[in-house]
Amino acid sequence: MSLIPPLLLVGGGRMGSALLAGWREQGLASAVVVDPAPRAAELGCAGIDVVADFGEIPAAFEPGAVILAVKPQSAAAALPPCGRFAGALFVSIMAGKTIAAISALLGRQPAIVRAMPNTPAAIRQGFTVAVAGFGVSTSQRQLADDLLTAVGEVAWVEDEALLDPVTAISGGGPAYLFLLTELMEQAALDEGIPPDLARAMARRTVIGAAGLLAAGDEDAAALRAAVTSPNGTTAAALAVLRGEHAWPELFQKAVAAATKRSRALSA
C-alpha cells in the first residue's frame, strides 16, 4: 500500500472505527475523527485526534481524503461543514446517498467515491463495492482503492445504481448469515440439544462452511450438492427450505425490500 495521507473521518461508529484500525495497520500517521459520541474518544492515539464537532478541527489541517461514515439520516447535518475541504477526495460509505446528493450537501463539486463495505472489515475480511464519481482522478481512485483494501477485497463498478442491490446483498449479507446461525442454534435447542453444544455447533458449522467456500473456487451450488445425499436427511431439510413460499422466494423479497430502502435513503 502507498503512503496514506492525512485523513478526516466523519463518524467513528462500527464501520468507521474498523476502517481506521485498518489504516493504522497500514501506516496512517495523521487523522482527525469527528464524532460527538463519548465512546469515540477511545479512537484517539498518537497522530489521531478525536473531536466532537468541526469547529475543533485545527485550522491548518488539510486532509488528503475525507471519509463520510455517518448514518445517511445524519448526512444533512454532518456533510455541509465538510465543504471547506473541497480539494480532498471524498469517500462515502453511507447507504443510499447518491454522489449527486452528497455533492449537493457539500455545496461544491468535489471528487467523490461512493463505496459499500461490510462488517467483516473489522477483521480485515470485508468486501467493498465502489464507484467513482465524475472528476475523480486516476491517483484519487488509487487512493480510494488503497484505503478500502486495507480492510478486505474491493470491486469497482461503473454504474452507481448497482450500489443499491450491493447494499442489500453484500452490505446486509452478514446479518442474514448471523440470523441463519441464530435459527440453527434455536432449532438445535428445540430438538433437545444442550445450550452450550447448540451454540458451538451452529457457530462452528457456519464458520467451517464459510471456510470451505474460501478454500477454493468451487461454486456454492456444487458444495451444497456434495453434502446432499439423495433421499437423505439433508435432502429432506432442503425440500422444506426450497419449497413454495420458502427460502428462495423469501430471500428474493428480502433483498428487494433492502434495495428499495437503499434507494429511499438517496434523497
- Is 156 part of a structural domain of the chain? yes
Helices (H) and strands (E) in the chain, counts: 10, 8
Q: What is the CATH number of the domain that holds 87?
A: 3.40.50.720
pTM of the model: 0.91
Domain boundary among 163, 196, 217: 163
CA distances from 151 to 12, 106, 123, 211, 233 (A): 15, 27, 7, 18, 39
Residue type, 90: F
**Which domain does 216 fall in, by range?**
173-264
In a domain, 1, yes or no: no
Pairing state of beta strands 89-92 and 111-116? parallel
Bridge partner list, 130: 115, 156
The residue ranking higher by pLDDT, 59 or 205, is: 205
Same domain assignment for residues 208 and 79: no
Asked whether residue 120 falls in the same domain as residue 180, the answer is: no
Contacts of 78 (CB under 8 A, 6+ apart): 10, 11, 34, 68, 70
- State how far the Cα of 190 lies from the Cα of 26, in Å rounded to an integer: 46
Q: What are φ and ψ of residue 49, in 5° steps?
A: -100, 140
Residues 107-153: tens digit of each pLDDT:
878 999 999 999 999 999 999 999 999 999 999 999 999 999 999 99
Strand partners, 31: 7, 48
Looking at the structure of the chain, the number of domains it has is 2
What is the residue whose three cell numbers read 463520510?
A: 68
Assigned domain for 208 exists: yes
Do 120 and 52 reside in the same domain of the chain?
yes
CB contact set of 14 (below 8 Å; sequence gap of 6+): 119, 122
Strand pairing partners for 50? 33
**Of the residues 163, 190, 205, which one is the last residue of a structural domain?**
163
User: Strand pairing of 111-116 and 126-132?
Assistant: antiparallel
Query: Does residue 148 share a domain with residue 17?
Result: yes
155 lies in the same domain as 222:
no
Give per-residue pLDDT as tens, 167-198. Answer: 999 999 999 999 999 999 999 999 999 999 99
Whether 159 and 177 map to the same domain: the answer is no
* Residue labelled with grid coordinates 447518491: 98
Where residue 1 falls among pLDDT bands split at 50, 70, 90? very low
Contact 226, 127 (CB under 8 A): no
Helix-, strand-, coil-residue percentages of the chain, each rounded to 5: 55, 15, 30
User: Which one of 122, 138, 163 terminates a domain?
Assistant: 163
Q: Is residue 78 part of a domain?
A: yes
Ranges of H-type helices in the chain: 14-25, 75-78, 99-106, 138-149, 163-166, 173-190, 195-215, 220-226, 233-241, 247-264
**Same domain membership, residue 180 and residue 157:** no
Mean pLDDT across the chain: 94
> What are 2-37's pLDDT values in tens digits?
578 999 999 999 999 999 999 999 889 899 999 998
Asked whether residue 80 is assigned to any structural domain, the reply reads: yes
Q: How far apart are CA 34 and CA 167, in angstroms?
A: 24
Residue 212: pLDDT over 70: yes
- Burial label for 15, CB within 10 Å (0-12, 13-18, 19+), is buried
